[in-house]
């Protein structure tokens, strides 16, 4: 985004109407004479520095200019300095600095002399260059410094317990902003979200904390405000940035102004909020079963919702709608949590004037639909929302009136109330690992207040973007504080029961453990935390800190998504493209036993055996120390089994793993099966494969995670990344008539390179697309799985010892029948087991299979009560046969059979 800069001198704060209402969001007060912005050196703390790569003769000096007048040109003396500090080489660095900055490359280590330490604070609030000079004082090299280490040691430790943002009572309104490098900060007040400023006031700086604050002797509730922050920006100069509050509690349309609010005010609560009942805290994290849902997807196409509520928070309050009936039925079947894709303030959804594209009625394999959708993608009302703008405010596009900050707060709470009323706990998808933009971009909030602090920088001072966007640095104290403060606010003020962290592996474990403690304290009850623990990018393998990643969270109680069984069941990996998407079949969709036209001859029985083992690894909760007889005949702990160079078993406790085969990312399971199953697979059998996928998740130890619509054979017309694909490719049908397969080629941006492969499959939509009867069968079968999981704690074992002692797999090793997974759960004496024995048999084959399990001989197995009930969805399970004399089982084709021995046996 281009930066709009007013180059004329800014008006003084004595004229607030000019300063507060200037058309530019940033005004350059003093352009930087030193135009480059590379920052190759590090201010480790207030005293010590390191310059990677720097060596050789010469001396080092830090130069400072409050008005950005420094010029450091090679071979000349530095010009424009207000002051300077000579730095020397210390004997050694403190061990704590080695630990924090171990990722910094080798280079010269420097220290500020004690007599000059008092200057450091002043230097940080302006242009500061570290210069290597020759004996005559001429520049050999010069660089800006990355200052978070110094800012943490000087200010953040003193500020980390401070309450930031706005506070208000009947007599006064207080404002607090952390801006330790700012030269001045002023407050702009507005009577509403659109009109001119009514007042301005300077904020005062606290030298110990770097906090700027002001108190107005008036109750300013319902008014709006922004800040004017005068701060040095490398490469630009001293800039006056007009910014919203990072700790905003409310916002006006498109986040232009922050809102003065007290979230305890009755005016910000829907009727009945204070006394509204909440679902009970779960006994164990493994009790969680989650349905992941997008607010707009939920109701935008639901004709049973009043038009004004469609796509909005209030749709969840329409308790008689088709969508709410669906959610209520899931809860009654045993679902515990509804997780909402991001609902904090989102940068990429226009809150006023967004459009709904008109999509042509075209052929199933036409590119016309995606062309119409993508032509309006930047202006339409849809985005997944992984583009955080303000972390503590509900997104305005889901409110009935985004211009009224109070409305979005009340309506968000009304949504939570309505879901709690039907017994569903509410979870939020949160994104603290990146911001949408950084630097001087208009929607950059944090980086325009404390440049270079909140974002993670590379070795030259550029923002890291491994997360797809502008990475934040939660290893820095005030970014970690912002995350913990934010989660605590959502847990207390909005009664959020659980959180799912996007790309959590980019955050320190210590920061996440602090989040857990703060959330529990704020809520007065345990708040469940799960997240993506992927290990990649600049922080991979603990290069900068101990991560909150898959391999680094043992015994934390925080859950991470497991890709072990996911990949084995689906086939291939998350990021496959080209022919691999079709040829890399998985355990569910034909690996070796039912090859499709493109995969014939590609796979071997050994591949199938290995996939069966990884399916068992998932069912065992990916536990590190669970032992399994593997395909080579050896008995191994799961951490001894290799998964792409990492241990297949990686968690210490079952509550630390999240099991899934489908979520918002990548193709839906129906779509991946549309590509991988043999083309002539019937629509009824496609539904069976889908139900088997859900069964593997439901029966796996740990957290069960399901994507909304998986139970309805949801399709996105093969779209691999529908984050900005509009309503068209993200539809849900709560009337169970359509799954929207074959509604056009998916958007070219992420799928175009594969169109030649996808087009024939979409052209065959009539063969692949399910009938309403298939959708209804899957819906009811999925609910049966939830009932089975809910019926016994054996499917939700509490700790690793329980899993090791009570879960046993039959039919393992090199002589197994790899088409059937047999898992036995021992319920003897176990609280909540409700059965003495449970045996599940998962047959992925399109043909009936016979299995002999001698260890089950002599038992009186019967179908699980849910499966033998009159309303059971899958009547094929009743064809299962058990011969007690020798433990012989006949398992129907593509069926999940659950047998039990009652406690009285």
Catalytic residues: 502, 532
Closest Cα partner for 844 from 615, 628, 584, 597? 615
Q: Which residue in 43, 9, 245, 14 sits closest to 129, CA to CA?
A: 43
Provide Rg for the chain, Cα atoms. Answer: 30
Token duo for residue 743: 């509604």
Beta bridge partners of 900: 838, 862
- First vs last Cα of the chain: how many Å apart? 70
For residue 75, the tally of other CB atoms under 10 A from its CB is 9
Per-state percent for the chain, helix, strand, coil, to nearest 5: 30, 25, 45
- Which of 553, 537, 594, 551 minimizes the C-alpha distance to 571? 594
Asked whether 232 and 451 are in contact (CB, 8 A), the reply is yes
Question: d(Cα 485, Cα 507) in Å, to the nearest integer?
Answer: 15
Per the structure block, which two tokens stand in for 767?
């063969």
C-alpha 622/C-alpha 568 separation (Å) is: 13
Evaluate whether 546 touches 510 at the Cβ level (below 8 Å). Answer: yes
Alpha-carbon distances, residue 373 vs 272, 356, 723 (angstroms): 41, 9, 12
Query: Using CA atoms, how far apart are residues 365 and 380, in angstroms rounded to an integer?
Result: 23
Q: How many CA atoms lie within 13 A of 583 on its CB side?
A: 12
888: its two tokens? 């012989």
Of the candidates 40, 61, 59, which has an alpha carbon nearest to the alpha carbon of residue 51? 40
Tokens of 429: 């998808």
Q: Measuring CA to CA, which residue among 645, 636, 594 is closest to residue 617?
A: 636
Q: Which helix (H) or strand (E) holds 843?
A: strand 835-843
- Structure tokens of 840? 């599940």
CA pair distance 823, 840, nearest whole angstrom? 5
Helices and strands, number each (H, E), in the chain: 22, 43
Whole-number Å distance between alpha carbons of 263 and 240:
30
Considering only CA atoms, which of 598, 780, 562, 566 is closest in space to residue 677? 598
Taking a C-beta distance cutoff of 8 angstroms, is the pair 532, 502 a contact?
yes
Quote the CA–CA distance of 357 and 376 in Å, as a whole number: 6
Give residues with Cβ within 8 angstroms of 594, minimum separation 6: 585, 677, 678, 681, 845, 846
Query: What is the DSSP secondary structure assignment for residue 634, as one 8-state letter?
Result: -
Q: What is the dihedral of CA 135, 136, 141, 145, to 10 degrees?
A: 90
In this structure, what token pair is assigned to residue 387? Answer: 């583009």
State the number of CA atoms in the 13 A half-sphere of 391 facing the CB.
Answer: 26
């Amino acid at each position: 985004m281009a930066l709009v800069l007013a180059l004329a001198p800014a008006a003084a704060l004595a004229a607030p109407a000019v300063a507060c209402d200037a058309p530019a969001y940033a005004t350059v007060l003093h352009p930087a004479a030193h135009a480059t912005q590379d920052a190759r050196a590090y201010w480790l703390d207030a005293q010590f520095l390191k310059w990677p790569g720097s060596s050789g003769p010469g001396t080092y000096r830090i130069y400072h200019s409050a008005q950005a007048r420094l010029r450091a040109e090679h071979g000349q003396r530095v010009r424009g300095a207000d002051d300077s500090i000579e730095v020397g080489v210390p004997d050694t660095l403190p061990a704590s600095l080695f630990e924090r900055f171990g990722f910094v490359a080798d280079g010269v280590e420097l220290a500020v002399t004690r007599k000059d330490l008092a200057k450091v604070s002043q230097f940080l609030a302006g242009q500061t260059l570290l210069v290597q000079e020759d004996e005559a004082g001429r520049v050999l090299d010069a660089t800006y410094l990355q200052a978070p280490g110094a800012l943490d040691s000087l200010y953040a430790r003193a500020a980390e317990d401070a309450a930031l943002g706005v506070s208000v009572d009947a007599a006064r309104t207080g404002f607090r902003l952390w801006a330790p490098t700012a030269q001045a900060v002023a407050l702009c007040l507005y009577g509403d979200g659109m009109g001119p400023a009514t007042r301005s006031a300077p904020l005062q700086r606290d030298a110990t904390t770097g906090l700027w604050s002001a108190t107005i002797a008036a109750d300013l509730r319902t008014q709006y405000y922004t800040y004017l922050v005068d701060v040095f920006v490398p490469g630009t100069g001293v800039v006056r940035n007009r910014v919203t509050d990072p700790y905003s509690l409310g916002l006006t349309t498109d986040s232009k102004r922050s809102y003065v609010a007290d979230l305890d005010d009755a005016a910000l609560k829907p009727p009945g909020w204070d006394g509204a009942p909440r679902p009970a805290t779960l006994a164990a994290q493994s009790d969680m079963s989650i349905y992941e849902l997008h607010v707009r997807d939920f109701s935008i196409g639901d004709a049973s919702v009043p038009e004004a509520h469609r796509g909005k928070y209030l749709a969840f309050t329409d308790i008689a709608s088709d969508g709410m009936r669906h959610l209520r039925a899931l809860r009654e079947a045993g679902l515990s949590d509804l997780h909402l894709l991001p609902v904090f303030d989102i940068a990429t959804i226009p809150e006023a004037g967004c459009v709904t594209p008109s999509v042509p009625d075209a052929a199933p394999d036409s590119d016309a639909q995606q062309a119409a959708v993508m032509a309006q993608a930047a202006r339409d009302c849809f985005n997944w929302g992984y583009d955080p703008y303000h972390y503590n405010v509900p997104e305005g596009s889901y409110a009935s009136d985004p211009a009224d900050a109070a409305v979005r707060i009340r309506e968000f709470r009304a949504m939570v109330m309505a879901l709690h009323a039907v017994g569903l706990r509410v979870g939020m998808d949160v994104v603290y690992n990146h911001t949408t933009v950084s630097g001087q971009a208009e929607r950059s909030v944090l980086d325009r207040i404390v440049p270079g602090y909140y974002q993670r920088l590379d070795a030259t001072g550029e923002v890291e973007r491994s997360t797809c966007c502008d990475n934040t640095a939660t290893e820095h104290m005030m970014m970690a504080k912002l995350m913990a403060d934010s989660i605590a606010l959502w847990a207390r003020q909005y009664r959020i029961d659980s959180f799912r962290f996007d790309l959590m592996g980019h955050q320190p474990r210590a920061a996440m453990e602090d989040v857990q403690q703060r959330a529990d304290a704020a809520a007065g009850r345990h708040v469940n935390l799960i997240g993506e623990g992927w290990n990649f990018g600049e922080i991979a393998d603990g290069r900068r800190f101990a991560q909150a990643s898959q391999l680094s969270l043992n015994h934390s109680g925080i859950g991470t998504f497991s890709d072990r069984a996911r990949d084995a069941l689906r086939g291939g990996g998350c990021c496959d493209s080209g022919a691999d998407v079709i040829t890399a079949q998985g355990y569910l969709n034909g690996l070796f036993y039912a090859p499709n036209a493109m995969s014939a001859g590609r796979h071997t029985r050994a591949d199938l055996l290995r996939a069966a083992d990884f399916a068992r690894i998932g069912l065992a909760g990916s536990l590190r120390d669970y032992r399994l007889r593997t395909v080579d005949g050896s008995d191994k702990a799961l951490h001894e089994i290799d998964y792409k160079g990492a241990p297949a078993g990686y968690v210490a406790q079952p509550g630390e793993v999240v099991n899934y085969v489908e979520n918002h990312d990548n193709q839906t399971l129906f779509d991946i099966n549309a590509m991988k199953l043999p083309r002539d697979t019937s629509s009824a059998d496609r539904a069976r494969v889908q139900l088997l996928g859900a069964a593997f998740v439901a029966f796996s130890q740990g957290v069960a995670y399901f994507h909304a619509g998986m139970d309805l054979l949801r399709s996105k017309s093969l779209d691999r990344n529908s984050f900005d694909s509009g309503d068209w490719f993200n539809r849900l049908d709560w009337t169970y008539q359509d799954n929207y397969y074959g509604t056009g080629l998916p958007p070219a941006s992420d799928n175009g390179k594969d169109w030649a492969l996808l087009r024939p499959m979409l052209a065959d939509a009539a063969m692949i697309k399910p009938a309403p009867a298939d959708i209804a069968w899957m819906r009811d079968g999925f609910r049966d799985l939830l009932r089975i999981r809910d019926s016994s704690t054996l499917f939700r074992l509490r700790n690793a010892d329980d899993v090791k002692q009570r879960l046993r797999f039959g039919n393992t090793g090199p002589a197994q029948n790899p088409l059937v997974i047999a898992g036995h759960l021992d319920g003897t004496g176990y609280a909540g087991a409700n059965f003495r024995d449970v045996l599940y048999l998962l047959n992925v084959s399109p043909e009936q299979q016979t299995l002999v399990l001698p260890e089950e001989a002599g038992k009186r197995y019967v179908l699980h009560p849910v499966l033998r009930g009159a309303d059971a969805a899958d009547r094929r399970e009743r064809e299962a046969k058990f011969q007690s004399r020798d433990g012989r089982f006949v398992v129907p084709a593509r069926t999940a059979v659950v047998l039990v021995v009652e406690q009285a046996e």
